[in-house]
């Protein structure tokens, strides 16, 4: 019996992909090791070829899935926390390669070192544990963090889709929870497309697309100078020559990129809708847009479509909505969504 073996960092997008392909064998349990997750699959269908083709997935036999010793994080916590305290850990943690960032309530602060040690025992790739010390805030979407355990280091080294990203978690924004979206859009890009990534951060969307599609031309615009510096470093680190970073305000740089893009990616969910004028500027006569937005559950998609239709009416272009999905819950009332739409002047 076969399992899909994936790095722990790829587990969320792997689970989604395997479910979408109808390959999840729910008669067997998911297995874990310090570095990998093993999803039970049925590979008797043609759809399995789409999974096997992924470079970040390895198909292994069940005996291979058992070959590594398993030290489950939740099991480790069982000897540290009471049942009530376990309930406080529902917010979990973010895995950024060698760094994990935990989100603890004030009640658990006195046990944070033990929690961090348990996390490092369960995930051998994690060398540093930090704790969230505030909400994402400011125009650069920076979150304050504080050191908890392990090596005192703030430079993450994170791998995704055969790419490596280095960045300072104190000075830049990065979300591992957009991994599935980066993979999804990377799969939609066609060779020789011109791709614009607005609000490009340290370069994950731009670099992954550029590396997967060497014949594309990719540009990433980023306002945060620290993030821009890391994006340029990541471009060199991943040895991609078909992507360029532009440091500055999208509203000021759009004119420099007039009529450039076949595809535009807008991963700035709190305010992306405010940049539709710039989308119209950088788009070719026909283009596809991937817009991320946060809003009330059940209403945000319809609201966003209405705003886009109104903009299209004012600017004199037609719009066709192609796809939408909830990317993740954002709060008790709000979700982050992605809306794909095509424009035609």
pLDDT at 91: 61
Instruction: Please state, in angstroms and as integers, the Cα–Cα distance from residue 144 to each residue in 27, 134, 169, 171, 338, following that order.
Output: 43, 5, 9, 9, 26
pLDDT(73) > 90: no
- Check whether residue 254 and residue 315 sit in a common domain: yes
How far the first Cα of the chain sits from its last, in Å, is 52
**Domain contains 173:** no
Q: For the residues of 223-278, what is the DSSP string, one character each?
A: S-HHHHHHHHHHHHHTT--SEEEEES-HHHHGGGGTT-EEEEEE--TTTGGGGHHH
- Structural domain range at position 59: 2-65
pLDDT at 68: 44
pLDDT digits (tens, 9 = 90+) for 91-109: 678 999 999 999 887 788 8
pLDDT(167) > 50: yes
- Check whether residue 193 and residue 339 sit in a common domain: yes
CATH classification of the domain holding 58:
3.30.70.2580
CATH classification of the domain holding 233:
3.40.50.150
- Check whether residue 227 and residue 130 sit in a common domain: no
**Domain contains 36:** yes
**Domain contains 164:** no
pLDDT at 13: 81
CATH classification of the domain holding 115:
3.30.300.110
**Domain contains 163:** no
Q: For the residues of 108-140, what is the DSSP string, one character each?
A: GGGGHHHHHHHHHHH-TT--EEEEE-S--BTTT
- Check whether residue 206 and residue 334 sit in a common domain: yes
Q: Tell me the pTM.
A: 0.80
**Domain contains 171:** no
**Domain contains 192:** yes
pLDDT at 93: 85
| Number of domains comprising the chain | 3
pLDDT band at 151 (very low <50, low <70, confident <90, very high): very high
pLDDT at 47: 66
Phi and psi angles of residue 158, each rounded to the nearest 5 degrees, phi first: -120, 135
- Check whether residue 55 and residue 79 sit in a common domain: no
């Amino acid at each position: 019996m076969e399992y899909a073996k994936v790095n722990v960092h790829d587990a969320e997008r792997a689970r989604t992909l395997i479910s979408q392909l109808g390959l999840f064998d729910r008669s067997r349990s998911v297995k874990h090791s310090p570095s990998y997750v093993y999803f039970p699959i049925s590979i008797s269908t043609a759809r399995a070829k789409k999974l096997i083709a992924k470079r970040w997935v390895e198909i292994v036999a069940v005996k291979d899935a058992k070959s590594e010793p398993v030290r489950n994080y939740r099991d480790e916590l069982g000897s540290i926390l009471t049942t009530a305290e376990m309930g406080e850990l529902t917010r979990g943690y973010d895995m950024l390669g060698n760094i994990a960032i935990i989100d603890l309530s004030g009640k658990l602060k006195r046990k944070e070192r033990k929690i961090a040690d348990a996390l490092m025992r369960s995930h051998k790739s994690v060398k540093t544990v930090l704790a969230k010390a505030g909400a994402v805030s400011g125009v650069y979407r920076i979150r304050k963090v504080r050191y908890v355990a392990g090596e005192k280091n703030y430079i993450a080294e994170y791998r995704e889709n055969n790419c490596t990203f280095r960045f300072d978690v104190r000075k830049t924004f990065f979300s591992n929870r957009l991994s599935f979206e980066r993979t999804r859009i990377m799969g939609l890009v066609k060779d020789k497309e011109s791709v614009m990534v607005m609000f490009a951060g340290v370069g994950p969307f731009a670099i992954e697309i550029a590396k997967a599609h060497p014949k594309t031309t990719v540009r990433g615009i980023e306002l945060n100078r620290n993030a821009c510096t890391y994006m340029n470093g990541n471009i060199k680190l991943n040895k991609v020559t078909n992507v360029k970073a532009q440091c500055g305000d999208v509203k000021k740089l759009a004119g420099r990129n007039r009529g450039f893009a076949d595809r535009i990616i807008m991963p700035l969910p709190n305010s992306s809708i405010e940049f539709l004028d710039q989308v119209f500027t950088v788009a070719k006569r026909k283009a596809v847009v991937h817009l991320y937005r946060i809003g009330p559950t059940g209403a945000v998609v319809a609201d966003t479509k209405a705003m886009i239709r109104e903009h299209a009416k004012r600017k004199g272009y037609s719009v066709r909505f192609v796809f939408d999905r909830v990317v993740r819950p954002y709060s008790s009332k709000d979700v982050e969504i992605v809306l794909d739409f095509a424009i035609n002047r």
